[in-house]
Amino acid sequence: MRIIVTGGLGFIGSNFILNQINKTKNIILNIDKITYAGNIDNLSSISNEKNYSFLKSDICSKDLINTTINEFEPDSIVNFAAESHVDRSIENPMEFVETNVLGTVNLLQCSTNYFNKINNSNFKFLHVSTDEVFGSLGKSGLFSEDTSYDPSSPYSASKASSDHFVRAWNRTFGLPTIITNCSNNYGPRQFPEKLIPLMIINCLNEKPLPIYGKGDNIRDWLYVNDHCDAIYETLCNGKIGETYNIGGNNEISNFEIVNTICSIMDELRPRQNAQKYSELITFVEDRPGHDFRYAIDTSKIKNKLGWMPKEDFHSGIRKTIDWYLKNSQWIKNLSSKYNQSRLGLKS
């Protein structure tokens, strides 16, 4: 397959591309704007591979995206490109509308132009979305593919909007689309403004470990390679026009996550002052509109496509911490490139 991947220098996209190049013969073109979240280091190990190429572009760019799709002639497009951080969407919502909504619509329009021109009935447009479109769960219940959309943040509202446009392009223009809505990912190469890498890197720098509210918000944690396998399975065998929910079957509170990271760090990299990492935990004012709980019913993707997550949280978090411990240069490069106070790397 010839696949265009958008947002492939980010966390999930880069893991997806690495898996594709290392495990398949597929030919990948990565289109990424290289925002603060796009990191060239994520794919430096494959930059000379003959099946991989990179184009720096904004998905909102009409002409460049049209030309590129026509020249590359993809069998599929997988859209990861997005502004992805809820806190930033509260500070600057317009960037989220531009990339997540208008950028997705531009990709859909350019893909439709291309699809109408070629004779490839196998063409697919897979849109990667989030479980945050469904809003918040109480103590019980699970999100299924039929759950109504009820987004709380500008981020989730922009992703919900993009999902609606993807469905509209399928129903109105006949573009062969599939949507996946996944839960919170964790694993190697995640920009450390997100909970898990932030906590690991702050532990390494002996900085406070800030937890929103009381830390009782619950997410269903999905190891990134499991997610990448699910996306590829869906791309190959998913049904056009359908949605698939992807979750890790690992519901854990933020407080439990941070405590688990602290205990593993105590074991693998004990603090020089002999104190426990958990002593660095501090509770900070809660995020406005913070959804209480997300949890995914994975029965559709399990029953229809035979996909199940391989990692449970305890195996996945060890692999993740181990990766950050072994990749101190990746962390160093980030800390010189990005706003350090935001990462909590400097006081």
Residues labelled catalytic: 131-132, 155
Q: Residue 146's CB: how many other CB atoms inside 10 A?
A: 9
Site for ligand NAD in 94-123 (CB under 6 A): 99, 103
Q: Please name the amino acid found at residue 1.
A: M
Q: Write down the least CB distance from residue 69 to ligand NAD, Å.
A: 14
Q: Which of 3, 5, 11, 43 touches ligand NAD by CB under 6 A? A: 11
**Can you tell me which residue has the tokens 């919170």?**
184
- Residue 117, C-beta contacts closer than 8 angstroms, at least 6 positions apart: 70
CB under 6 A: which stretch of 26-34, 271-279, 305-313, 330-338 binds ligand NAD? 26-34
Site for ligand NAD in 58-87 (CB under 6 A): 58-60, 80-84
Alpha carbons 18 and 11: distance in angstroms, whole number: 11
String marking each residue 132-171 x if it binds ligand NAD according to CB under 6 A: ---------------------------x------------
Q: Please name the amino acid found at residue 305.
A: L
Question: What's 219-244 look like in SS3?
Answer: EECEEHHHHHHHHHHHHHHCCCCCEE
Radius of gyration, CA atoms only, the chain = 20
Alpha carbons 243 and 311: distance in angstroms, whole number: 23
Q: Write down the least CB distance from residue 309 to ligand NAD, Å.
A: 14
**Can you tell me which residue has the tokens 């998913």?**
238
Verify binding: residue 247, ligand NAD, rule CB under 6 A: no
Report which residue's Cβ sits closest to ligand NAD: 10
Alpha carbons 272 and 83: distance in angstroms, whole number: 38
Q: Which of 10, 151, 188, 309 touches ligand NAD by CB under 6 A? A: 10
Q: Please name the amino acid found at residue 332.
A: K
Verify binding: residue 88, ligand NAD, rule CB under 6 A: no
CB under 6 A: which stretch of 56-64, 67-75, 232-240, 304-312 binds ligand NAD? 56-64
Q: Which of 29, 128, 257, 258 touches ligand NAD by CB under 6 A? A: 128
91, 254 contact by CB (below 8 A):
no
CB under 6 A: which stretch of 45-53, 54-62, 250-258, 301-309 binds ligand NAD? 54-62
Verify binding: residue 182, ligand NAD, rule CB under 6 A: yes
Nearest partner of 75 among 28, 33, 112, 123, judged by Cα? 123
Verify binding: residue 191, ligand NAD, rule CB under 6 A: yes
Max Cα-Cα span within the chain? 66
Residues lying near ligand NAD in the complex (CB under 6 A): 6-7, 9-13, 32-35, 37-38, 58-60, 80-84, 99, 103, 128, 130, 159, 182, 184-185, 191
